[in-house]
Amino acid sequence: MTEIKIIKTDSELQQALQILTQAEYVGLDTETTGLDPYTCQLRLIQIGTTKHTFIIDLFHTPKLAKELKSILLAETPIKILHNAKFDLKMLKHHLGLRVHSIFDTMLASKVIGGGQEGESHSLAKTVKRFLGIEIDKTEQTSNWAENNLSESQIHYAAQDAIIVCKLYQTQLLKLCDLGLLETAELEFDSVAAIADMELAGMLLDKEHWQEIVKETETKHLAVAKKLGQALEPGDLQMSLFGESTTNLDSPNQVQEALRRLGVPLLDTRSSHLQYLAKEFPILEQLLEYRSLQKALSSYGLGILKFIHPITGRIHANFFQIGTPTGRLSCHEPNLQQIPHSANYRSCFIAAPGNLLIIADYSQIELRILADWAEDNVLINAFQTGADLHCITASQMFGIALSSVTPEHRSAAKQLNYGIIYGMGPQGLANRINRSVAEAERLINRYFSTYNKVAHWLNQAGQEAITNKEARTRLGRLMYVNTSTTEKLSQSAIIRSGKNMPIQGTSADISKYAMMFLYRSLDKTSARLINNIHDELVFEVARDEAKSVAKTIEKEMVAAGQKFIHNVPVLVDIKIAEAWLKQ
């Protein structure tokens, strides 16, 4: 039976700390009046073991909470939390407290799950899965702003701090059994950087954004009208106003209208449209229409609702293990998918007196592939600093380097990156507007040049089939045999076997970089404000920008060198007023 005690005096807290500091690990949790650190209040802090759990009520004894600083920053005991990112944001924003030596039972559950989709990692589901225990979460949505909390609320709050201690014991053994402890430790060590990134947010130039959306709407209407008119000869029905009645957002209606115009479409997927666009220019109009439509639906005025009323910034939500390969994902809004075009990205700006630093790994996935495959030709290209895409183009097309055109280079670039994702002849043909037979010849020449890449990719695909899993260099695991929704085909397993080790290792490098930089930039004004996989964006005081940029480059290179040994790791750095690389 666990003793639960509400701490009311400093002497009681000191007695509690004496007990807690002798423990190997403690459970840590908070209760709040809402989910937004800028608008809600921090009500309770619960910290304890399975024998003794202590609660600080910040509504009645707010000053006691800061006395926890010494134990929260200490390397021991280990602090066990579930969804630590949430609690770290609350503790830092409201009390200025940081937490070191973390074990996050939610992240541990995801790491152990090996990227299988459809599994819930809520505390209740995680406890049920690992401990076989049902826990009551009814009080989670109760009113935590009440002056006096009920006995049921107190026991609920304590329960969460107690149960994570039990989860820790089981999950730690499982992580060790699966060879995933180092991966989990990376996740635990980088969660503070991600929490701080969400707290920092990005500043959007609202007026500039509205201007761009208005321009996009005008262009969208013009393209829609032109496309509708182009479809008229193939339309059997006309509106009373002489306009085409084809719904441009209906793939079936568009396909039927195009068929009557003599365009032999099997479907209206973008890759298929791009392949036929040179022969049928109307498809270029359809692709442009869809691009503008996507821009308006995904990046229209709707993004403005995410500007926080207190901070004036956008605080997106990042899922730390957002994909099966370990990459971060982002939503509300998705800042990782803001178009690369200068007009959109120029709207994301530094606050007055600050600058942005955009730091981007150069061809990191290709460098990982070269190093892992030990392909001497590819390694040499990186070591000499030659233009890899031009070298590849020269080999693919059988021409001298001096004869490589931008079109040749573009085709080679498509293959260099596509090969990691298992792209075949049809995919390459669609991307470079060549026949499937020609694309197949180009791929064969590619593998003839980079023969060890071919060997490694083939081996990785076959190992995925045999082992039903793929791993990064760190050991991060992704099961590739099944998902919770459907069986994967053998070709899909092979593609995952090739791609996951590369993309997952890139994700691991990015997380090491965030972890290193969170620590090394602690005494500066710099804050991480966005992660776009192998690109990190920081905001910093103008007078610190140059020195901070050097630190960022140094730490990002160091993170890359943990996994890449035979190829130089390069980071492109840009200091600017807005989120622009040029």
pLDDT tens digits for 525-540?
999 999 999 999 999 9
pLDDT of residue 237: 47
pLDDT of residue 376: 93
Q: Report the pLDDT averaged over residues 9-30.
A: 96
Residue 247 has pLDDT above 90, yes or no: no
Residue 235 has pLDDT above 80, yes or no: no
Q: Give the chain's mean pLDDT.
A: 91
Task: Please state which of the ranges 233-247, 295-309, 423-437 shows the lowest mean pLDDT.
Answer: 233-247
Residue 48 backbone dihedrals phi, psi, to 5 degrees? 175, -170
pLDDT of residue 233: 59
Q: Report the pLDDT averaged over residues 5-20.
A: 95
Confidence of residue 234 (pLDDT cuts 50, 70, 90): very low
User: pLDDT tens for residues 363-376?
Assistant: 999 999 999 999 99
User: pLDDT tens for residues 105-159?
Assistant: 999 999 999 998 888 999 999 999 999 999 988 888 889 999 899 999 999 999 9
pLDDT of residue 206: 96
Q: Residue 330: helix, strand or coil by DSSP?
A: strand
User: pLDDT tens for residues 263-277?
Assistant: 877 777 776 777 777
- CA 29, CA 558: separation in Å to the nearest integer? 34
End-to-end CA distance of the chain: 62
User: pLDDT tens for residues 452-487?
Assistant: 999 999 999 999 999 999 999 999 999 987 544 455
pLDDT of residue 425: 86
Which CA distances in Å does 177 have to 31, 112, 180? Answer: 33, 10, 8
Q: Are 437 and 444 in contact (CB under 8 A)?
A: no
pLDDT of residue 118: 81
Task: Please state which of the ranges 130-144, 202-216, 313-327, 347-361 shows the lowest mean pLDDT.
Answer: 130-144
Q: Are 55 and 7 in contact (CB under 8 A)?
A: yes
Q: Amino acid identity of 5?
A: K
Neighbour count for residue 385 (Cβ, 10 Å): 9
CATH number of this structure's domain 366-502 = 1.10.150.20
Tell me the three-class secondary structure of 353-413, residue by residue.
CEEEEEEEECCHHHHHHHHHHCCHHHHHHHHHCCCHHHHHHHHHHCCCHHHCCHHHHHHHH
Residue 20 has pLDDT above 90, yes or no: yes
Q: Which of 82-86, 291-295, 340-344, 399-403 has the highest mean pLDDT?
A: 82-86
Domain 316-364+507-576, CATH among 2.30.40.10, 3.40.50.2020, 1.10.150.20, 3.30.70.370: 3.30.70.370
Which CA distances in Å does 260 have to 225, 251, 279, 357? Answer: 19, 14, 16, 52
Break the chain into its structural domains and give their ranges: 3-178, 206-302, 316-364+507-576, 366-502
Beta strands in 96-151, from DSSP E residues, in sequence order? 102-104
Q: Which of 373-377, 409-413, 429-433 has the highest mean pLDDT?
A: 373-377
pLDDT of residue 166: 95
pLDDT of residue 488: 63
CATH topology of domain 206-302: Taq DNA Polymerase; Chain T, domain 4 (1.20.1060)
pLDDT of residue 9: 95
Which of the pair, 297 or 549, is modelled with greater confidence? 549
Tokens encoding 35:
């989910």
Q: Report the pLDDT averaged over residues 154-173.
A: 95
Cα 469–Cα 124–Cα 13 angle in degrees, nearest 5: 115
pLDDT of residue 84: 98
Residue 494 has pLDDT above 80, yes or no: yes
User: pLDDT tens for residues 68-112?
Assistant: 999 999 999 999 999 999 999 999 999 999 999 999 999 999 999
Residue 236 has pLDDT above 90, yes or no: no
Residue 239 has pLDDT above 90, yes or no: no
- CA 261, CA 85: separation in Å to the nearest integer? 55
Tokens encoding 565:
């040994």
Q: Report the pLDDT averaged over residues 23-31.
A: 97
Q: Are 414 and 425 in contact (CB under 8 A)?
A: no
Tokens encoding 41:
């209040």
pTM metric for this prediction: 0.91
Domain 3-178, CATH among 3.30.420.10, 3.90.76.10, 3.40.605.10, 3.90.1150.10: 3.30.420.10
Residue 427 has pLDDT above 50, yes or no: yes
pLDDT of residue 300: 87
- CA 95, CA 464: separation in Å to the nearest integer? 47
Neighbour count for residue 348 (Cβ, 10 Å): 22
pLDDT of residue 487: 58
pLDDT of residue 238: 46
